Amino acid sequence: MWPNDRLINLFDIELPIIQAPMAGSAFSDMVVAVSEAGGLGSLACALLSVEQARRELETIRRKTSRPINVNFFCHQQPRGDPALEMNWRRRLEAYYVQMGLDDSAAVLSSNRVPFDDKMCDLVLEFHPEVVSFHFGLPDKDLLARIRRTGAKIISSATSVDEARWLEDQGCDAIVAQGYEAGGHRGMFLTQSVFTQVGTMALVPQVVDAVRVPVIAAGGIADARGIVAAFALGAAAVQIGTAYLLCPEAQISPIYRQALKEAQDDETAITNVFTGRPARGIANRLMREVGPMCDVAPEFPLAAGAVAPLRAKSEAAGSADFTPLWAGQAVRLNRTLPAAELTKQLAAETLEKFRFLQTRALPDVLAQAAVLATVGR
Ligand SMILES: Cc1cc2nc3c(=O)[nH]c(=O)nc-3n(C[C@H](O)[C@H](O)[C@H](O)COP(=O)(O)O)c2cc1C
């Protein structure tokens, strides 16, 4: 049925559609809905405490016995540099003054914690079928502990080098994350955001470079994108932004509104919210301080000084200082429950494949025959 069934077989799922892990936006309801629909639901843990992650996993395991993916960030936690922090606060000072905020309100660190022993214990306890990482992989001991549970391990690559590196470390599949993608870039062997590759160019080059199955991510929002991903050699797609208008997405009304109104040319890659490049709908902070800013402290520390500005402006109904993560295909979003969206995406994609095989193929073969005689 599907032109490439490697991922379906590897993960033991029905549909090669992975709901992207989305820290802060998608929780147990979304995961259960997508996994029950036959796709792979993903729980992002980067913004959850161990206790919160445990509660989400208990709910998920109670409501579905289907395979799930549990996702973690694995950046190096920075020490924090007071001089850089001071520069960053100075850069934001005018906003603090405008909003009548005391800049001692800024918190020094943010709550994005890399994968560690305690989260690893949780993985051992709940045995997710798939464990995925963003920003590379955790250290070898933690990885070995996960591997012993039998979980399939995957991570995001934004270049051929990163994909090869992940395969060398033993990843079972690789998410090729194109430049179009919403949220944080998974880049970990480069800092250069300007040389990041689009999905259309990245996927086939990664497919050629590794032996493990490749999952296409970035700007895929409907059947046309999924068909294209398979044509490029992918064995599955990972879709984030398109799930954000589902009722299961736990996002604020201002974020939801921004997603509904965003146009194709309104997202940009920025580091002003966290210190790492991520794609979101351009807003005031991105336009006036970024989108890329040299004085933003290392990930995730930049978020600390932005937090009070965000809280105050959100309380006044404004998204000026809110990260509005979204990919370049945001205009294609539809408002549907996550299970329905998953099934519709799959059905529409299969219909397109059928069309190509039955209706279009005879025409293509006839054309090819004509071209062959011309060539003689
Ligand atoms: C709101 C949002 C949050 C995200 N958070 C995570 C995350 O926690 N972990 C992760 O591996 N990827 C995260 N991503 C990136 C996705 O895994 C994926 O690469 C991306 O959504 C694909 O592009 P698309 O949004 O155009 O579908 C996030 C993306 C979005 C839109």
**Token pair for residue 328?**
């370049």
pLDDT tops 90 at residue 376: no
What's the whole-number average pLDDT of the chain?
A: 95
pLDDT band at 371 (very low <50, low <70, confident <90, very high): confident
Cα of 23 from ligand 1 centre, angstroms? 8
Average pLDDT over residues 83-100: 94
Q: Indicate if ligand 1 lies below 6 Å from the C-beta of 69.
A: no
pLDDT tops 90 at residue 124: yes
Ligand 1 atom index nearest CA of 20: 17
pLDDT tens digit sequence for 190-215: 999 999 999 999 999 999 999 999 99
Instruction: Using DSSP, state whether 136 is helix, strand or coil.
Output: coil
Cα of 183 from ligand 1 centre, angstroms? 5
Peptide bond into 291 cis (omega under 30): yes
DSSP 276: S
Distance CA 42, CA 64 (A): 13
292: buried, middle or exposed (CB in 10 Å: 19+, 13-18, 0-12)? Answer: middle
What confidence score (pLDDT) does residue 69 get? Answer: 98
Distance CA 156, CA 46 (A): 15
β-strands 278-281, 267-270 pairing: antiparallel
pLDDT tops 70 at residue 354: yes
pLDDT tops 90 at residue 372: no
End-to-end Cα separation, the chain, in angstroms: 36
pLDDT band at 80 (very low <50, low <70, confident <90, very high): confident
- The owner of tokens 């934001």 is 92
Q: Indicate if ligand 1 lies below 6 Å from the C-beta of 67.
A: no
pLDDT tops 60 at residue 108: no
Check: CB of residue 229 under 8 Å from CB of residue 218.
no
Q: Indicate if ligand 1 lies below 6 Å from the C-beta of 280.
A: no
Percent of the chain surpassing pLDDT 70: 98
Query: Residue 165: CB partners within 8 Å, gap ≥ 6?
Result: 157, 189
- The owner of tokens 């998608």 is 26
Check: CB of residue 245 under 8 Å from CB of residue 260.
yes
DSSP 359: I
Instruction: Dihedral sign for Cα 279, 105, 309, 316, please.
Output: positive
Instruction: Using DSSP, state whether 40 is helix, strand or coil.
Output: strand
What confidence score (pLDDT) does residue 362 get? Answer: 78
Q: Indicate if ligand 1 lies below 6 Å from the C-beta of 182.
A: yes
pLDDT tops 80 at residue 48: yes
Percent of the chain surpassing pLDDT 90: 88
Q: Indicate if ligand 1 lies below 6 Å from the C-beta of 35.
A: no
Distance CA 338, CA 309 (A): 32
Q: Indicate if ligand 1 lies below 6 Å from the C-beta of 324.
A: no
pLDDT tops 60 at residue 342: yes
Check: CB of residue 340 under 8 Å from CB of residue 329.
no
Ligand 1 atom index nearest CA of 251: 1
What confidence score (pLDDT) does residue 107 get? Answer: 65
Q: What is the DSSP string of 279-300?
A: EEE--HHHHHH-SS-TTPPSTT
Ligand 1 atom index nearest CA of 240: 21
